[in-house]
Amino acid sequence: MESNILQLLLESLKTTGLLIWYTLWAFILGYILSSAIQTLVTREQMSNLLGKTGIKQMSLAGFFGFISSSCSFASLAATRSVMVKGAHPKNAISFLIATTNLIIETGIVLWLLVGWKFVLANFALGFIMISYAYLLYRFFISKKVALAGKEHAEKLEAEELKHPSPEGMKWYEKLVSKEGIKIISFKFLGEWKMAYKEVLIGFTIAGIVSAFVPDSFWNSVFIESGAETQSFLAIVEHALVAPILAVFTFVGSLGNIPLAAILWSKNASFAGVMAFLGADLVAATVIYLNAKYYGWKFTIYMSLLLYVCMVAAGITVHYLFAVFNAIPTARPESLQNMLSFDTNSHTFYLNIIFGIIGIVLLIVRWRFIQKAK
């Protein structure tokens, strides 16, 4: 009994380590992008593009989110930057969804684990979630709540912002200027300080859940999971339950992929898996970080909005693919076979590349501090 528990503990630690390794480069990339947004983009520029609401602004927010893609933990800081810089909260939410669902690296991993159809479905999920969020926003978040959330984010950023962005320069001038690089390096470390505890705790819990929760549990929570053809009620139940499970896995968008693949291997419906892939935005760690950024009231309403959108989008994608008889049928193996330390993988090389960039930024910051003494 004791040896079995010890084996499970070692397995959970291994899984935690592999999840961190799998997502490390995306964290570094996300925090660099967040730091760059805060430094290079002025409030006036962002306000002119995303300060108002409309189809054009929604599309731009989605595009900016796509080019700023990172894992969900890092995208939270980037979204706060966009909102504080002057974006309407509705556009900021669209940006947030895009940064976590319209992700190139997620598409690559999905393709490797469960096939290309999931890649198309995940991108469709992101676009549909953005559309639903735009339509339903006013039913969940009042102007008063939105203003309070934005003011909370501005106050928090003002407290952290000891090094304001240099004014009177073009964005590319800031990028190559000594002062611009200095500010990015300071903000880069600041973003890590904001989230590293929650990230480590979340990934540790994810490892424990993956090791200690038996396969039978995942099967029991999804009705008709073993049926060849699942009813509409089962499809809806899967889409409703999957995001709730994601709350307790505590992982972000990249970490959710192997867990979503597990659900697929345990006969969860396509709708349930898709809703789960969108549910990194309601993971407990994500909600906690958002509460630090915007306050609890705005965070609760935003999380409810996102939950409704991911459930509805998951069901929509399911039946959209069903119309074209495109729902995948192949099922993957265990999580242990999906995560591995491979020195000849894109993860290995990306971790080295972005690890070096991160170290360089920390060295730059240290040198500026030494010169200031």
Interval 54-68: pLDDT, tens: 999 999 888 888 776
Rounded Cα gap, residues 68 and 61, in angstroms? 10
The answer on pLDDT for 165 being more than 60 is no
Count the domains in the chain: 1
Rounded Cα gap, residues 105 and 212, in angstroms? 28
Domain assignment present for 9: no
Highest mean pLDDT among 24-33, 171-180, 262-271: 262-271
The answer on pLDDT for 254 being more than 90 is no
Domain that holds residue 36: 26-372
pLDDT, tens only, 279-327:
989 988 889 989 999 999 999 999 999 999 999 999 999 999 999 999 9
Among residues 177, 251, 241, 185, the alpha carbon closest in space to that of 18 is found at 251
Rounded Cα gap, residues 240 and 257, in angstroms? 18
Domain assignment present for 252: yes
Of 185-189, 203-207, 334-338, least confident by mean pLDDT is 334-338
The DSSP line for 294-318 is: H-HHHHHHHHHHHHHHHHHHHHHHH
Q: Looking at this protein, which amino acid is placed at residue 63?
A: F
Among residues 285, 148, 146, 268, the alpha carbon closest in space to that of 209 is found at 285
Domain assignment present for 2: no
Q: What is the mean pLDDT of the chain?
A: 83
Which residues lie below 8 Å from residue 197, measured CB to CB, with a gap of 6+? Answer: none
pLDDT, tens only, 101-124:
887 767 777 887 788 899 999 999
Percent with pLDDT over 70 in the chain: 83
If phi > 0 it is left, if psi is from -120 to 50 it is alpha, else beta; for residue 25 that is alpha
